[in-house]
Amino acid sequence: MRYTQEKIHKIVETQRTYFRKGETLDVRWRIRQLKKLKQAVLDHQENLQAALFEDLGKSPTEAFLCDIGPVIVEINEMLRNLKRWARPERHFSGLMCFPSTRTTVYKLPYGVTLLISPFNFPVLLTLGVLAASISGGNTAVIKASSKSSASTRALQALLSDIFPEEYVTLIDGGHDVADMCLAERFDKIFYTGSPAVAKHVMEAASRHLTPVALELGGETGNWCVVRRDADCRDAARKIAFLKLCNAGQICININQIAVAREIAEEFLTELKKEFIRQIGERPEYNPEYPKLITGAVYEKCVRLTEQYRDRVIFGGTGDREACRFAPTVIYPVDEEEDIVRHELFCPLLPVVPFDDAEIDRMMDVIASREHPLAMYVFTSDRRWAERVMSTQQYGGGCINEVCIHMMVRGVPFNGTGHSGMGAYHGEWGFREFTHPQTVLKGRTRLNLPLREHPYSGESGKRKNALLRLFEK
């Protein structure tokens, strides 16, 4: 479909009219919509897997592990807990408000939401966010990625089967269509993507003072720190898995590794072994290995590999026709080189050696860069690890593990600074798509004149004394 500004404006206004009818405020009604969405994902599973393979070369197992399965898990958590999350909160108003003793906090939907989803996990990062929007009682206009076109078509078919356009609409198209969406007035915008585009989204949202949630990869990428007391084999196994997943096109992937010089050779030997064990010596010819989303990303891999060719110790090869590029380890890389100062979002993996005795200086370097979405540390020094992970600024992370922190129920997935704002998953997603409204229930009798004039003389003194008493 060819979209125009008039067409998109009509979609938004139709949804606004529908929202004002109040149907989405009923929590039981929202639960029915979530059940519809879950069943549709199950019914369309084969189509979604085929689309993910076409767009990103994901095998059925990886498609379910990383895209489809997590959506079902997310919806299940909402179905179990939504009634409790949405329940109004009751509060004692306090003596200052006497005789009005009861205050209620309602959790209200924003209204018409705009969800802008990326190409790398087109099912999870579209339907997972949509589920959060539905749980909050909103309507949704979804701008899906034009890069993952097969997945966008599959999602469009899935959603049009179960939801009317006045409630949920998926729009395809490029940046021009996204700008048309951003020109409209929405009540909430949720964007997943790059920090550069996020600035554009925030600028557009500011024209209407629309609140935004941003889930970003981070300007300078996610660090993984491997200290000299780490289990090299265990660290290599987990790091290889994460770097192979979606060919590195993951916002929480490892962008660069800082490894203690004392164990660097041992660690790199284990890392190479793990890449070979998990995906083979020529992964670009392995049909299970995902492909890059566009030829432009492939050419970026080629350009950077050639730039660092003399330091490529593993990989560095690709299949241009299949758009697959092998995981490529570059070592040694200085902490100030350009390749470790921006997010790569591809299979390249630069490794920065450091002296373990200077770990605090290394952590200061990481802290001086833009806040990452994820951080990973491998060490047997639990006290150090917990101190670092509780003081550094980042979205989320793991000690002696990678990425699975985002699979834990009841915890937020979020970034900070250049890696985003806002949070979702489970109750955090419900909170992100609702706003609290505080309502005090007043009384018509026994109202004291404490807040009223006069404030001087004997009356004022008595009022002042009582006010100070009530404030204790």
Active site residue ranges: 215, 251
- Residue 59 in tokens: 């095998």
Measure the CA–CA gap between 432 and 428, rounded to whole angstroms.
6
Specify whether the CB–CB gap between 366 and 215 falls below 8 A: no
Q: Is the dihedral of CA 295, 300, 301, 302 positive or negative?
A: positive
CA-based angle 119:350:397, to the nearest 5? Answer: 60
Cβ neighbors of 270 (< 8 A, separation 6 or more) are 232, 233, 235, 236, 237
DSSP β-bridge partners for residue 413: 424
* Residue 422, Ramachandran bin (φ over 0: left; ψ between -120 and 50: alpha; else beta): left
Non-local (6+) Cβ contacts of 26 within 8 A are none
Residue 395, SS3 per DSSP: coil
Left, alpha or beta for 318 (phi > 0: left; psi -120 to 50: alpha)?
beta
Sequence length of the chain is 472
| Radius of gyration in angstroms for the set of CA atoms belonging to the chain, rounded to a whole number | 26
